[in-house]
Every structure is written in structure tokens, then in C-alpha cells.
Chains A and B, each alone.
Chain A
Amino acid sequence: MNSYITLTPWDLALASIFVLVNAGLSLALELHIHRQMLIAALRMVVQLSLMGLVLTALFSVMSPLWTMVAALGMVLFAGREIAARQERSFTGLWSYGLGTVSMMTGSLLVTIFGLTAALRPDPWYDPKYAIPLLGMILGNGMTGIALGIQGLTAGAMQRRGAVEAQLMLGATRREAMGPVIRQALRSALMPIINSMSVTGIVALPGMMTGQILGGVSPVEAVRYQILIMFLIAGGTGIGAVTAVMAGAYRLTDQRHRLRLDRLRPAKS
């Protein structure tokens, strides 16, 4: 079981050369993303190291309260990331609130389902299961929700004439926004469909690989991975539908008007 190879900081430093090569390529080809590349790599190292410490602490205290606090913190960061990825964000509290609340709804529902109905650790809030599970669901759900909101706001801007033409002829806001909503949901759910179709052939997911490296039998690791993929699909679906429907509600009003004034101007 415990025959895994321990990595030293030197091993990691060696592998980080590839990030430096990427940054160098960005400079040479004038892509102007070397800063972002280095900051993202640095963030990853700092965040993961902190997560390592946090998980160690959570495992030793085994408190439902602290597990919840860590979960909530992760959801809030995911919400911030969704808001940061938007080209045009909503005005006011909706800017941060829409992605965060949708993410929370989707991810907490499926995480609690996964813990209580499928994995059933004892106790059910055992952070060893709860936090990694939530993390994987958030990581994927975040992409879907960000794409969904982006699709909704960009679609409403681009199809403004078409949406308003229907409103002028007496369509309800639901009818007029229908095509925009459907398109946004399709783009939100496409990544998880793509990822399910190639998993096992092209892509071996990180968690499964990790379990195999840790000595778990491949057949067991595959079962875990299938469960996770279903939960991710569920969390992304619930989160994206919540975000796109609530966003479409916000982009229209009680008098069935299209309210693009509730979006901030595009970031330059």
C-alpha cells in the first residue's frame, strides 16, 4: 500500500523549468502572457501548500464546524474566480453574488449527496473525503458556471435586436430570452460532456492517477473516478442552470424589458 515515491522540493524545482520555458516563449513570441503564467504558477504553489497545511490541520481536529468553514472558504474563492472571468459583469451585488450563490447551490448539493448516499464515510463530514470531493466539484463546476454566465451576457448583447424584436411583438421575457438561455447552457455543459467522452481514452484524471500512484488497485480507483465524474456533471448542471436562469431574470424585468443597463461595460 505505502510504496509511493516521496517527492523532494528539488524534484518540483526541476519540473518548474517548463513553466519558465513557457514564460520565455511568451517573451520571444510577444504573447504578453509571461506575467500571468508566472503569477498563476506561483499562486498554485502557494495555494496548494496552504491547502496541504489546512488539510493536515482539518484531519487532526475532525470538527464538522471547521470542515464547513474550509468548504465555505473554497466556495467563496470559486465565486470570486467566476466573477473575475467575466468580460461584462452584472452591476452591484449580482456581479459576485450570481456565480457564488449558483456555485454554492450546485456544489454543496452534490457534495452532500456524494458523502451521504455514495461514499458514506464515518462521520459523513470526514474532511479527508469532504474537502477533496468538494474541491474537484468546484474546480469543474466553476468553469461551467463561468462559461454559462459569459454565454448569457454576451448572447444578450449580441442578440439584443432579436430579443427586443420579440418583446415588441408581445413575447414574454421567457420566450424572448429562450434562445440566449439555451445557447448559454449548452456552452456551460459542453466541457463536462467533452471531458466525460475522453476520460479513460485520452485523459486519465488526476484523482484516479493519484490513487493508483498511492497503491489503490486500478479497478477501485476507476470506481471512484466514475462517481466523481457523475457528481461533477450534477454540480455543474445544477450550478449552471441556477446561474443562467437567475442571470436571465436579472437581465429582464417585471415589465418584460431587456435590461442591458444592469451590465457593466466590457473590460478593455
Chain B
Amino acid sequence: MLDIAGLHRPGLMPVSFALPSGACIAVRGPSGAGKTLLLRAIADLDPCEGNVSLDGVNRVSIPAPSWRRQVSYVPAVSGWWADTVGDHFQNWSAAAPLLAHFKIPEDAAAWPVARCSTGELARLALARALATQPKVLLLDEPTGALDDETTAAVEAVLLDRIAQGAAALWVTHDTAQAARVASRFLLVEGGAVHEAAQL
């Protein structure tokens, strides 16, 4: 589904791999190794060279906003532009079932963003991205700020999306989680990306 050929930019050596529909690749590497650069380059958030295509269509022929709705990057630290949680969702009631899986109550729409915990913000940011039904998920430590119980809930929702045909690139430092969610592994070290048998 997602094909990457010779993608590179300063700090990231050329990388090529394919991410088929229904697959999840776990990504691991030390801080500053280039994991975020890789995900941002795929989401087309930074100038970069190389070819990236989705279902055979090169992204240069797809307007960037449309590309990012299909190839959704969820960073480790989420950004918020309005005062209340609900203002960040195009359709809060449509997102409610998903939020319920994430253990976020329906009245959270009125919560001030400034009052939310890191874990709540992480789940809300993930729900906000999943609401647009992206084909590819670029997840930067989606459960990094969560306890075991909510981690399990979030994993279940994400694995369900993958089972339905989405594809995911999932950055995690937790090798047990990598083994649970992914069948393939990428190691990022010093700006170079290698496929690994295990993490």
C-alpha cells in the first residue's frame, strides 16, 4: 500500500521499504536517531527527497492536505490550537464510540485542553487522527504516556484498524509491545534505517 523508495533528507540516510495493507512495522532506535525525521518525512511535513507512493500513486501528484488525511502522523507530543477538547474534532459525536474505547467520556468535549493530563491528550490526539479514517498510521510512541490498562485499550483499537486493512509504522521502546503488535521491525540508528529480524 505505502511504497517508500530512496527517501532521504539531512539527518536521514536514504531508506526504502514497502508497507502493505494490514501490516504493522515496529520502529525502534535511540533518541535523536532519526525516528521522528522518518515519520515526518513520510507525512511530507519537512522538505525531503525520494519517492513515496500510496496505492501506486506518487504523493507529488496528491495535494499535501489530502495526503496527510490518508497518511496520518500522530507525534509523541500533540499540538492543540483551540481552548476546549471538542473544538479539535470535526464531528465530536461521530468520534464518541472511538473515544469510549479509549476511556474518554462523552462530556470531555467541554474540557479545557490545559486541564487534560498527558495520557488523556495522547488518547485524544490519536482519536482525532483516527477519526479521518487514514489508510496509513505513523505512530510515534502512541502509548508512551499511558498506564497498562489504557495501553491495552489503545492497542486493541489500533490492531482492529490494522486488521481492517490499515497499515501502521509504530515507534515503540517497549520490545514486548513491538512483538505484540508488529510482524516486521525497523531499527533506526544514526540516521540509518535497517530492517531487523527482531527488536
Chain A: residues with CB nearer than 8 A to chain B? 159-172, 179, 253-259
User: Are the CB atoms of A161 and B64 closer together than 8 Å?
Assistant: no
Pick 14 A–B contacts, CB within 8 A, sort by A. Answer: A161-B80, A163-B79, A164-B45, A164-B79, A165-B79, A166-B81, A167-B64, A167-B68, A168-B74, A179-B81, A256-B63, A256-B64, A257-B64, A259-B47
Please give the distance in Å from B59's CB to the nearest CB on chain A: 9
User: Are the CB atoms of B79 and A255 closer together than 8 Å?
Assistant: no
A180's closest neighbor in chain B, by CB? B81
B64 CB contacts on chain A under 8 angstroms: 167, 254-257
User: Are the CB atoms of B68 and A168 closer together than 8 Å?
Assistant: yes
Chain B: residues with CB nearer than 8 A to chain A? 43-47, 63-66, 68-69, 72-75, 77-81, 125, 128-129, 132
User: Are the CB atoms of A170 and B66 closer together than 8 Å?
Assistant: yes
User: Are the CB atoms of A165 and B80 closer together than 8 Å?
Assistant: yes
User: Are the CB atoms of B81 and A159 closer together than 8 Å?
Assistant: yes
Contact residues of B: prevailing secondary structure: loop
User: Are the CB atoms of B43 and A168 closer together than 8 Å?
Assistant: yes
Please give the distance in Å from B7's CB to the nearest CB on chain A: 14
CA distance A171 to B79 in the complex (A): 13
B75's closest neighbor in chain A, by CB? A168
Q: Which of A163, A168, A256 has the most CB of B within 10 A?
A: A168
Please give the distance in Å from B179's CB to the nearest CB on chain A: 28
CA distance A259 to B65 in the complex (A): 16
B80 CB contacts on chain A under 8 angstroms: 161-162, 165
User: Are the CB atoms of A161 and B77 closer together than 8 Å?
Assistant: yes
A259's closest neighbor in chain B, by CB? B47
Q: Which of A162, A163, A253 has the most CB of B within 10 A?
A: A162
CA distance A179 to B47 in the complex (A): 24
A253 CB contacts on chain B under 8 angstroms: 47
User: Are the CB atoms of B132 and A169 closer together than 8 Å?
Assistant: yes
B75 CB contacts on chain A under 8 angstroms: 164, 168
CA distance A43 to B139 in the complex (A): 57
B74 CB contacts on chain A under 8 angstroms: 168
Please give the distance in Å from B65's CB to the nearest CB on chain A: 4
User: Are the CB atoms of B68 and A169 closer together than 8 Å?
Assistant: yes
Please give the distance in Å from A249's CB to the nearest CB on chain B: 15
User: Are the CB atoms of A167 and B45 closer together than 8 Å?
Assistant: yes
Q: Which 9 A-B pairs have the closest CB atoms?
A: A165-B79, A161-B79, A170-B69, A162-B81, A256-B64, A255-B64, A170-B65, A162-B79, A170-B68
A162 CB contacts on chain B under 8 angstroms: 79-81
B73's closest neighbor in chain A, by CB? A168
Q: Which of B68, B78, B79, B125 has the most CB of A within 10 A?
A: B79
